[in-house]
């Protein structure tokens, strides 16, 4: 019998500790931790903590270097397919399975569009990354090859030579991190900002 009351008492003690632990850890992990981190980050690294924003010559914010933008003007470099149209208040893709007929239809449409807008570049050179949907729908990058294949189109629509554009892409190609991790890539927004500047200067 005494064993039974002992168990009951220890159960009640455990419940009280559990309740106090619940409140304590909500305050500690749920409030103090994120606020401490926000404070430290804002103090030490305000630019990174604020979303790595990019400004144009006039000092206006034109976007974040991490978030891709939608480019439809054929005189700009274009980014990857985004089912959400680079709307950055949400994120994601339409998750087409490899066997989904809609995936095939969308890819065929992209290829047809490519043929129309880039008659100089055969589709054998069209990199798969450029006509596939990124996971986030906000991918800020394209592969260097995806940028080079757009050079003939952009050159024919602007007053810039293919050589000028090639060196522009080259200058904006980022290597793998530490020369090792990930893939070489080109930030489309930064590339187009530089392109715009080049056009206005020439």
Q: Taking the complex as a whole, how short is the minimal distance between the CB of residue 73 and another protein, in angstroms?
A: 6
CA angle 99, 104, 109 (to 5 degrees): 165
Residue 173's DSSP bridge partners are: 186
Reported as half-sphere exposure (CB side, CA atoms, 13 A), residue 41 has a value of: 12
Q: Which two tokens stand for residue 169?
A: 């892409």
* CB 90 to another protein: min, Å: 5
Residue spans of beta strands (DSSP E) within 65-126: none
d(CA 90, CA 92): 7
Q: Which residues, numbered 5-24, are part of the site for another protein (CB under 8 A)? A: 10-11, 14-24
Report 95-114 residues binding another protein (CB under 8 A): 95-101, 103-104, 107-108, 111
Out of 1, 57, 59, 124, name the contact with another protein by CB under 8 A.
Answer: 124
Please choose, out of 119-127, 152-160, 162-170, the segment that lies near another protein by the rule CB under 8 A.
119-127
Write the interaction track for another protein spanning residues 23-62; mark x where CB under 8 A is met and - where it is not: xxxx-xxxx-xx-xxx-xxx-xx--xxxxxx------xxx
Pick 145 or 162: Cβ nearer another protein: 145
134 to 153: interface string for another protein, x by CB under 8 A: xxxxxxxxxx-x--------
Asked whether position 161 contacts another protein by CB under 8 A, the answer is no
Q: What CA–CA distance (Å, rounded) separates 21 from 55?
A: 47
Residue 59's alpha-carbon distances to 54, 55, 63, 66, 124, in angstroms, are 9, 5, 12, 18, 41
State which residue, 81 or 155, has the beta carbon closest to another protein. Answer: 81
Nearer to another protein, 91 or 156 (CB): 91
Main-chain phi, psi angles of 194, to 5 degrees: -65, -35
């Amino acid at each position: 019998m005494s064993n039974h009351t002992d168990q009951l008492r220890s159960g009640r003690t455990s419940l009280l500790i559990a309740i106090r632990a619940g409140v304590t850890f909500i305050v500690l992990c749920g409030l103090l931790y994120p606020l401490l981190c926000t404070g430290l980050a804002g103090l030490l690294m305000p630019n990174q903590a604020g979303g790595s924003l990019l400004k144009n010559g006039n000092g206006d914010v034109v976007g974040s270097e991490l978030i891709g933008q939608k480019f439809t003007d054929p005189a700009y470099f274009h980014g990857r397919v985004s089912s959400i149209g680079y709307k950055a208040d949400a994120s994601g893709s339409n998750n087409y399975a490899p066997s989904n007929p809609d995936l095939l239809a969308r890819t065929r449409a992209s290829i047809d569009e490519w043929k129309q807008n880039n008659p100089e570049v055969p589709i054998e050179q069209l990199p798969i990354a450029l006509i596939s949907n990124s996971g986030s729908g906000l991918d800020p990058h394209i592969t260097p090859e995806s940028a080079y294949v757009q050079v003939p189109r952009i050159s024919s629509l602007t007053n810039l030579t293919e050589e000028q554009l090639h060196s522009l892409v080259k200058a904006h190609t980022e290597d793998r991190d530490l020369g090792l991790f990930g893939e070489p890539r080109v930030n489309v927004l930064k590339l187009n900002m530089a392109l715009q500047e080049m056009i206005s200067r020439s």
